[in-house]
Amino acid sequence: MTIRASLTRRGLLASLPASAFLLASCRPEPTAEQLVQMLIAAPDAYRAPAAGIVVMQNNLVIAQAAAGEADVGVRPFTTRSALRAASISKLVVALTAEKLHRDGVLDLDQGVRSWLPYFPSDTAAGPDGPSLRALLSHTSGMKDPEAYWLAHPGNIETLLTRDAFRESKDFEYCNLGYGIVATVIELATQRRFDRVARDIVLKPMGLDAGFNWSGVSPEKRRDGATLYRNFGNGWASQIDDRDMLRDTAPSVLLDEGAELSTYQPGTNGTLFSPQGGLRANLIDLATIAARLKYAPELTRPVWSLNQAQTNGVHDERYFTHFGTGVQIHPAEESPWPGIELWGHPGEAYGLYSGAWFAPELNISFAYAVTGTPDGTPDRSARHPALNVFTEVLMDAVMTAYAASPASK
C-alpha cells in the first residue's frame, strides 16, 4: 500500500471527516495533541494504532501527548507504555561502551581482534579488526548478512562470513556491528550484555527499561504496547503480543531444549538484540537522549557524507553525519529547521520512532507510532529522514515546545 508523499499535517487534517476533529476547524494551526490524534483518526492508509510524543528539559517533562491503543481493543496508549524501541536501542549500546571506556575497561579505538581472535584479519578494517568506535559509527567495513542474530546456543563467530564484509570502510549501516560490540562488552565484563547495560546506564538514570524485557518490572511489561502492521484487514500484532506481555522471562531466541541459564557471556552478543531490542517508554527514551549532553565522546562526527556523496551508503541522504552510535543532524540540514539534533531513529515491525537531544535548546524529545499499513511509508518531502508519519510527530514536538514555557 502506498502512502502519498504529499501528505502533510494540513493534508492529513483535510483528509479527515469533519466529525472526527471538530476542534481543528476552530484553530489556524492544530495543537500537538491534535496532531498526534490525527494519526489515529486518519483514513486507513495514514492511520496508526497509537502515537505519542514527549518533550523534556532538565529531566522534567515539559510537554507530552498520546493517543490510540497500546493493545487494540483493550488498553489505551500513554507516554508510559513501554514498547520495542527499535534502533533507538543503539544509543544505550553506545552509552554502555562509552561508560566502560571512561572506566578503563574498554578502549573504543582498539581493534576487536584483541577480544575476538577469530575475527577475520583480512578485511577492510585491517589485521586488528575494526574498533568499537568504527562498529558503532558504521564505518567498520561490515554490512548486514541475511541474518544478523543467533539463537542460544549459537556463537557469533558463525555470522562472520564473507557476506558480512565489504571492500571499504565507507559508511554502511550495519546492525551486526552492534552484536559484535555487545559480545566484546560481555567479554570485558564477564557478564551478560543486558545486565551490564541495565546496571551502568539504565538504572543510574532511574529507568525501568531493558533489552528484550530483561529487568523490566512485570507491571510495566503488562502495560506495554504491541507493535502492529495492517495488511488490509485490520491490525495484526507483529511483536509483544498479549501473551508476550504477560510473560516474565526475557524474550530471547532459544534452540529447542536450550535454557538461558546456560548462556556463557561473550559467545553471542546478539542474544538480547542490542541493535533494536530495548523496551522502554517515550519518557524513558527522551531521558536516554538527554544523556547525550554529557557524552561528547559519542556526539563528535566520525563520518560525514562528502560533497560528491560517494563515501557511504547514505540511503538518499537519510544519513549524512554519524558519531559513535549517534546520528547527527546539523542545524543547516535538520528535520527541525535550524536546530542541530543528536540521537537515533527507529523503524521495525510497523513502528517508526525517534529520540533526540537538541543542544541549542537544551531539550530532548521522543516520538513513536506503534503500527503502520503494510509497506514502507513514503518519505516526507521536507526531510529525507522523515516519513509521512514521523513528519507529523516532528511537527507535534515543535508545536509542543513552542507552546511550553521553555521556549519563552
Residue ranges of the chain with pLDDT lower than 50?
A: 1-10, 13-26
Half-sphere exposure of 367 (CA within 13 A, CB side): 27
245 located within any domain: no
What's the CA angle centered on 175, arms 173 and 180, to 5 degrees? 120
Encode pLDDT of 25-42 as tens digits.
445 689 999 999 999 999
Q: Do residues 300 and 372 both lie within one domain? A: yes
Neighbours of 74 (CB within 10 A): 9
Helix, strand, or coil here: 230?
strand
The pLDDT, as a whole number, for residue 170 is: 98
The answer to whether residues 106 and 76 belong to one domain is no
* 147 close to 159: Cβ distance less than 8 angstroms: yes
Same-domain pairing of 172 and 302: no
Using omega within 30 degrees of 0 as the cis cutoff, is the peptide bond preceding 218 cis?
A: no
Residue 370 CA neighbour count, 13 Å, CB half: 35
> What's the CA angle centered on 231, arms 228 and 236, to 5 degrees?
35
- Asked if the structure places residue 203 within a domain, the reply is yes
pLDDT, residue 408, reads 86
209 and 222 fall within a common domain: no
Residue with cell 507510532: 369
- Where are the alpha helices (H) located in 216-305, listed in sequence order? 218-222, 242-246, 282-290, 296-299
In a domain, 4, yes or no: no
Let me know whether 321 and 259 are in one domain.
no
- Asked if residue 383 belongs to a domain, the reply is yes
**Residues 156, 302 within the same domain:** no
- Classify residue 102 by its DSSP letter: H
Identify whether the C-beta of residue 17 lies closer than 8 Å to the C-beta of residue 33: no
Q: Looking at residue 12, what is its pLDDT? A: 53
Q: Rounded CA gap, 149 and 155, in Å?
A: 10
pLDDT at 228: 98
Instruction: Identify the pLDDT of residue 16.
Output: 45
Task: Say whether both 379 and 292 belong to one domain.
Answer: yes
Contact 201, 112 (CB under 8 A): no
Take residue 113 and report the three cell numbers written for it: 581482534
Q: What's the domain range around 20?
A: 9-81+217-227+281-407
Q: Is residue 319 part of a domain?
A: yes
> How many domains does the chain fold into?
2
Overall residue count recorded for the chain in this entry: 408
Whether the bond between 153 and the residue before it is cis, its omega within 30 degrees of 0, is yes
Give the three-state DSSP class for 369: strand
CB 329 within 8 A of CB 335: yes
Q: Are residues 368 and 400 in the same domain?
A: yes
| DSSP per-residue string spanning 93-107 | HHHHHHHHHHTTS--
Q: What is the pLDDT of residue 28?
A: 65
In this structure, the answer to whether residues 153 and 125 fall within a common structural domain is: yes
Query: What are the φ/ψ torsions at residue 399 (nearest 5 degrees)?
Result: -65, -45
65: left (phi over 0), alpha (psi -120 to 50) or beta: beta
The answer to whether residues 326 and 368 belong to one domain is: yes
Q: State the cell numbers at 322.
A: 554519524
Rg of the chain in Å (alpha carbons): 21
Do 42 and 181 lie in one domain? The reply is no
For 263-293, the pLDDT digits (tens) are 999 999 999 999 999 999 999 999 999 999 9
Q: Would residue 2 count as lying in a domain?
A: no
Is 402 found in the same domain as 293? yes
- The domain that holds 126 is classified in CATH as 3.40.710.10
State CA 176 to chain mean position distance.
15
pLDDT at res. 27: 53
Q: In this structure, is residue 307 part of a structural domain?
A: yes
Domain assignment present for residue 381? The answer is yes
State the pLDDT at residue 21.
43
3-state secondary structure of 163: helix
Res 195: pLDDT: 98
